[in-house]
Structure formats: C-alpha cells, structure tokens
Chain A
Amino acid sequence: MEYWAVKIGYFLLTLGIVTVYGLLLGAVIARTMAKVQGRIGIPYWQPFLDIVKNLGKRTAVSHGVMFYLGPVFRIAGGIGTLAFVPVIYGSEMFANFNFAGDLLLAVYFIFFGQLGMALGAGESGHPFSAIGVARGLGQMTAFEVPFALAIIAIVIQYDTLSINEIVAAQQGGMSNWTLFTNPLAVAAAMLAFLGMSGYPPFDVVTAPNEIPIGPPTEYHSAYLALMQTNRAIFAGAKLILFMALFFGGATNWIEVVIKTWAIYMVAVAVGASFPRFRVDQSIRFFLRIPTLIGMASIAFVQIFLAG
C-alpha cells in the first residue's frame, strides 16, 4: 500500500513537471516561429494565462454527456501515455509505472485521446467538428502505419516490449542509440512524428484558417482549458517516448530538456519551411515513402541485427 502511495506521489510530481515544461516548450516554440516570421511573439507565460482565463470563464454550454467526456478522454490519453513511459533512466523517482509490456500500452494511449475526442466532437453536432474528426482520423490512420512499423522494428531489434530495457540497451555512448544502430526505423518514426505534432505540412486538421479549428470548434471555457493542458502533457509524453525509444533516453532532467527540445525542433523546422498538405495528399505521403522506410527497417533488423 505504502509502495503505491509513494509511486503515485512520484508520478504526480512527474506530471506536474511535464505539464509546466510542456506549456513552456509550447511558448518557446511559438516564439521561435514568431522569430522566423520576423515578429516578437507571445510572452513565455501566455499558455498559462490562456488556461487560467478559460477556467475563469463564467458561462458554459453543454451538448450532452459525451461532450463532457471528450476532453476527459483526451487528457486521460495524455496522462496515460506519460504514466507508462519511464522519464529518467535509472531513477526510482521518475520511473513511473513501467512494467514488462509498457511499450504496447504507451503506443495504444497515444491514439486513445484522439478517439475520445472524436466521440466528444461528434456529440457537439457542429458540421465543422464532424469534418475535422473525419480528417483527423484519416490522417492519424495514415501516420500510424510507419510509426507501428518502426515500433515493430525496434521490438525485434531489442527483443523486448519494455521501454526501460530498450533504454538500457542504448546506454554507454551515442553509438548505441537506436538513431545509429537502426537509422531506418528512426527515420520512419520521425516522419510519423511530423504528422503527430500538428505542424505544417500536416496541420490541416486543426488549422484556424481551414474549417474553423477542426474538431474543437464547439469546445470552450473549462473544456478548452482541459484540452490546452492536455496539449502540453501529451506533447511532453510523446517527446519523452521518442527520446527513450530512439535517442538513448535520459539520465537527468537537463538531458530530457535538451533532447526533447531538439526532437521537437525537427517538426518545427519542417513546419516553418513547408506549406500545408490537403488530407488526401498527406495520407498518400505517409503511405508511400515513410511506410516503405518502415518496412525496410524491419527487413534491415531481420537481416543484420536480429539473432
């Protein structure tokens, strides 16, 4: 009993750190994008103010039970992803609830929030929400393919489903990172990451100047605050998962910050340079080169690394 109390306490601490870090990272990235456009950009504390402002709205309208549950599912997806990814390798405090099969669960949780959001946004009855959900799920199904292939490749490579063991196998110098031992899988996963991160060219789902802002069209007040909080947690959890699987994990918080920032900057650099794809274009994109790279990575692992 005491063991679990301590575990949950540590997890809440991790959750707090990742939330604050995710919000700050969002502001830093927004300022980076602003600099690219020659602007000053939002203040660093803007995401915090937006959340407090939305919580402090004095009116709210509901569209039914599922409408309430949409943001709740979404934040459950974010917290769930984080809960099963060990943040810092070798630390009892920030290991979270890792166990032998946590990779499968974390990968499942990445997509759990989107499905909950689809149900909630559908309940709102707004046609733009429905179109946004259709676009979002279509694009998600497409980038899931290279991502799943990359995961399969590294599972074969390390012969384990435990994220902790995958990180352990990458210790002892940069040359042990998956990035260098299996570059094809990392390439496929990073291309899928571009789709996940919601930056151009794959931001057609929630872009404000497409159908207004997509699935969250009807969400407001505290619902929106919940979704904005989740955005930070989910971004943090996803980055930490990628860091653990492909970039050697981290042994302290400074390493976490540097690595996750660098991984995020890949999506930002691509986003700042390319215009937006339509949904059919992005589905075609993901099902061609990234999927082929993903399959090639499995072949590569089978021929050169496994056994």
Chain B
Amino acid sequence: MMTKDKSLGPMANEGLTAEERDLFSDARPVPYQPYPVEVVEKFINWVRANSLYMLAFGTGCGAIELNPLMTARYDAYRFGFQPRPTPRQASVFMIGGYASVKTLKRIIRSYEQMQGPKFVIALGICPVNGGMYWDSYNTVNQFDLYIPVDLYITGCMPRPEVLLAGVLELKKKIKEGRADGHNRYIENLDWYKANQKRIIKNWDMPDYSW
C-alpha cells in the first residue's frame, strides 16, 4: 500500500456505510516521482511506450472500432499494443466515445485500479464536447473534467487507421515524458472528485478505489 499523504489526510469515504468502511482502504494516493537518473527515466519511458497494455473495456459505441485493431488488417500488436482484460495489468484506457453517467462510475473505478503510470485515450467527438449527445440527460459532455485525458482522437467515429495513428502519437508523447495524466489526477484529486460527485448522485463506493 502506498504511504498516506500526511498533509491531506485519509479519504473520507462518505459514500460508504459504517461497516463497509472497514472493508475499503482510505489511503490517499501520492504522485510518483521520475527516476533520479535521467537516462534511466528516458529508457523506462521508451519501454513504456513500446509495451502498451490496453484495458479491454468498451465504454461506448466507439469500442466497435477497437476490435479491428487486433485483426490481420491493422494488427496493432506489431507496435507493442495489446488488449489486457484486467485493469490491474493495463496501462492504457481507451474511452470508446460517449460516457454515460452510469458508465462513468465504472470508468472511475477501473481507472483508479490501474497501476501507474497510466494513460487515457479518448475516442470520438463525444468526450470532447458531447457530440451528438450534447443535450442528452445522462451523458457527460466534457470528459476530462472527470478523468485526465492524455490524447484525443476526434471524429464520429474515428476509423481504425486513425486509432493506430493516435496510438503512435501517444507513444511519441510517452517517450518525451509528456503523458503525465496519472500524476495530474492525483495532484488535483480533490477537484476531480468534486466534479465526479457533482454528476454521480448515488456515490456508493470508496473515494479512491485501490
């Protein structure tokens, strides 16, 4: 378990009942520091960029464009990009288009269970401004209010070629050390949590899903 941040204290876990609180950790995550030697950090960033495990969790209609990525025609494996069925082992979260409020809850839990450094790619126009769901009653309009996004691939829907180009772009960002979504999330955790709780009315989960 990570050490608690002394200045901010543990998470409140107010959404849980008293007996449930014993079952969940209330530790507050801390941002990680880069390795002290610059060469090591550069090398490990290069390795991270070339070994991307994508969380196979289709959150919206865009997930249908992810499946062809693994087939003979596009074959994303050759770029070190592969699906992984459990968030614990994944390092890339693909937001497949619109995120409904109900899915957002699952997205938050899955994202928090992923181990850092972790990266988020948002597909389609919906995570940017809501797209065709702009005035829908149950779809979030601006996705990066809730989860930090490292890369957007817009379009409705973006074709697999564009997704591959996006993956290559993410690799470039990781190699340059600019994909810092994980740390941004933890440094601004209270702001993100306030945004998330504003839209998720039935918050019955721990404040940070370890």
| Partner-B contacts on A (CB < 8 A) | 34, 37-43, 46, 49-50, 52-53, 56-62, 208-209, 212-213, 216-221, 224
Contact = CB atoms under 8 A, between A and B. Distances in A.
A213 B85 contact: yes
B75 A39 contact: yes
A61 B210 contact: yes
B88 A220 contact: yes
Interface class of chain B by DSSP: loop
B200 interface: no
The 10 closest A-B pairs by CB, nearest first: A212-B85, A58-B32, A38-B72, A53-B51, A220-B88, A56-B44, A39-B75, A49-B51, A208-B85, A59-B116
A57 B82 CA distance: 17
Contact of B72 (A37, A46, A49, A219): A37
22 contacts: A38-B72, A39-B75, A40-B75, A40-B78, A41-B75, A42-B78, A49-B47, A49-B50, A49-B51, A52-B51, A53-B48, A56-B48, A57-B117, A59-B32, A60-B115, A212-B85, A213-B85, A213-B86, A217-B86, A220-B115, A221-B115, A224-B89
Contact of B47 (A39, A52, A60, A217): A52
A42 B52 CA distance: 12
A41 B50 contact: no
Nearest to A217: B86
A42 B75 CA distance: 9
Interface of B: 1-2, 29, 32, 44, 47-48, 50-51, 56, 71-72, 75, 77-78, 80, 82-86, 88-89, 91, 115-117, 210
Contacts of B71: 39
Given A34-B77, A43-B78, A218-B88, A57 B47 contact: no
B115 A56 contact: no
Contact of A34 (B32, B75, B88): B75
A56 B78 contact: no
Contacts of A220: 88-89, 115
Contacts of A42: 77-78, 80, 82
A41 B81 CA distance: 10
Nearest to A124: B88
A218 B117 CA distance: 17
Contact of A208 (B2, B84, B116): B84
A92 B210 CA distance: 50
